[in-house]
């Protein structure tokens, strides 16, 4: 009984100990992906985004992925485009005259 009691006390001390951290210099090392755009836009707004970000407005030049929705078994068309600076664009066609666009930008951190 005494061993079990000591084991539980030791386990609680280990579980409640403080996290050991360094000086914080290692926190910003590596790459971080930031969501710049994540919304539903009309086709006119999509054309404006393509002009501003120098993207092809014709989705035929984008990478195409055709999927089926798990819940309602409908087709979902996804288009993706990756720029050389690490920016990733994903466009999902919706049933109405609009698209859902997601823009993710990779921020590079150096030492």
**26: DSSP letter:** G
Q: What pLDDT digit, counting tens, does each position of 39-85 carry?
A: 999 999 999 999 999 999 888 899 999 888 888 888 888 999 999 88
Residues 6+ apart with CB under 8 A from 41: 49, 98, 99, 100, 101
Contact predicate 90/73, CB 8 Å: no
Q: What is the pTM of this model?
A: 0.65
**73: DSSP letter:** -
Q: What pLDDT digit, counting tens, does each position of 1-34 carry?
A: 888 888 888 777 777 766 655 555 555 556 777 8
Spans of all domains in the chain: 30-109
């Amino acid at each position: 009984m005494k061993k079990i009691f000591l084991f539980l006390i030791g386990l609680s001390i280990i579980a409640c100990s403080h996290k050991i951290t360094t000086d914080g210099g290692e926190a910003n090392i590596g790459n971080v992906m930031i969501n710049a755009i994540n919304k539903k836009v009309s086709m006119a707004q999509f054309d404006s985004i393509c002009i501003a970000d120098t993207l092809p407005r014709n989705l035929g030049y984008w990478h195409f992925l055709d999927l089926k929705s798990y819940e309602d078994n409908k087709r979902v068309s996804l288009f993706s485009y990756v720029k050389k600076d690490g920016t990733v664009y994903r466009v999902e066609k919706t049933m109405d005259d609009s698209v859902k666009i997601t823009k993710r930008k990779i921020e590079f951190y150096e030492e």
